[in-house]
Chains A and B, each alone.
Chain A
Amino acid sequence: MTTLLQPIEGIRPRSSKSAVPQRTSPQIRRRNRKDGLLFWALILPNLVAIVVFGYYPTVYNFVLSFTDWDFVQPAPVVVGFENYVELFQSGSMLMDALRNTAIFVLVAVIGTLFGGMAIGALLAQRLRFSGLVRTIAFAPHMLPGAAIGVLWLFMFDPNYGLSRWLFSMFGMESPSWTTTSDFSLWSITIAYAWQRLGFVAIIYYTAILDLPKDIYEAAALDGARGWGLFRYTTLPLLSPVTFFLTITGIIAAAQTFDIIATLTNGGPGTSSTTLPWMIYDQAFVDFNIGTSAATATVMFALLLVVTLVQTKYASKQVHYS
């Protein structure tokens, strides 16, 4: 039996003032070496993949943001902060892209959180056919974004789409969703929100089913019911899920590309150009690799700040127990 202060075998004490130097036996050293080798053997494949496909491109992108390159010439030319200076000039495409991204992300994330929570709560009532409804609700999340885009392209068509039929019921003409600046941003937002809604609903549905029953029993004894019960009991208990969906939602929405590519191509003009579309457009349409890399760096920094702020806020507001 060991006392509390006895050092654990094989672990060197933090203080080196001991008169007698600590020695580990050869067996322990061999075991430590084996454990170390096993550790590296297990972690190395993932570490290599992360470094090669994650960190290296990120660092290389940052380096490219200080260059002028068209991808075709043998080597980039260093131009310092020129790309960043141009990006932040008034009237630059970045300002439009930032505004569009903010609107797109906020509306899509908040909309899917509210909608998903409502659908999730409804599914949790275990009504008839709720299994079928669950499947139908989740289905759009399983479809590729390009397919969603093409689907909505037809639905939005003002001449023969679902939109025309819907508006004609009220004696109105359908807006030109994808060909006018007034609606293009809303068209990609609606299509994206529709795709994500099912996923959010299923996450909330499973979270609601896992809520502790005893708290609800106690709340019922105190006379809580209806909206009050939901507002003061369910919502706080769901806050970890809401936090998770908010962070993943913001990051996913801010990276949306395929729906934009199929619905609007970022247009008309820059009316539906978001940061990812601008990054693509600058890199693979205009071949301004430096500008594209600088935009990607700005986007990375923004998402990092947003995530840090959310995490800080969550430490005060999210209830994990």
Chain B
Amino acid sequence: MVNPPVNGEALRAYARKEYWSVLALSFPALLLVSVVLFLPTGWLFALSFFDDAGQLSLVNYQRLVEQPSYLRVFQTTFLLSLAVTFFTVLIGYPLAYLLSQLPRRVANFCLLAVLLPFWTSLLVRTYAWLVLLQRNGLINTTLRDLGLTDEPLRLVHNFTGAAIGMTHIMVPFLVLPLYASMRAINPNYVKAAANLGAGPARSFWDVFVPLSLPGLLAGISLVFVLCLGFYVTPALLGGGKVIMIALRIDMNLRLYNSWGAASALGVVLLIATGLILYLANRLTRAGFGAGAFR
């Protein structure tokens, strides 16, 4: 390195060697991900094209289309993910908006309300909802004491319970990227709208909301994709009645020891996830201007 030879070819060779030796620092990590993720992915992909007798066939995918139980699993997964994403936006958008309008010091403090749950164990939060929503839980006793209900509502071990718990867990995933993108909106645009005569409501809907759409879309696609593959919370709060794809994969594997079916479902889940992320990325770049996915 000290006094490299002064001729073009040697310098280029030296730069090449330098480039590869620095790049090689990432190879141990790459090896880990290859062994743990890429290699098994290839295997599962191959496995999904063989039937139980080891013959090449599409029977695993055929079953996914033809059996009503699988159609129900897809339906449940899709509807629940859609509902949770909807409620997450309903709750997350106003919160992110409020945070983006507060002075930064106050906002940083209020942000703890998003960060604390975000860093708290998933199981702890799911357990909390299990306790709150049960037959004689805080919510049912409060409703009864207020005279709003005569009988305890069935809030848990069903679709409702799973949706409430999942929404609670997903809100931070929407708020954090959305808040960052709202902070980046130049306040002068909103001022300009007001200058041209728009009231607060008009400048919010016509200027602020469209500018926040890329961030919103990024958050929505993240939440939807996470919901599709969600296992723990729907399994516990759904009480075995709400069967989503992830739970079904686990059942196929541990109850029926059916590798073909489990990997076919896994491949479908993976492709759906990739497709949604890809489309959201394309949409953001094409339709709403750049900048959300950097």
Q: Do A and B bind each other?
A: no
Which B residues form the contact surface with A (CB < 8 A)? none
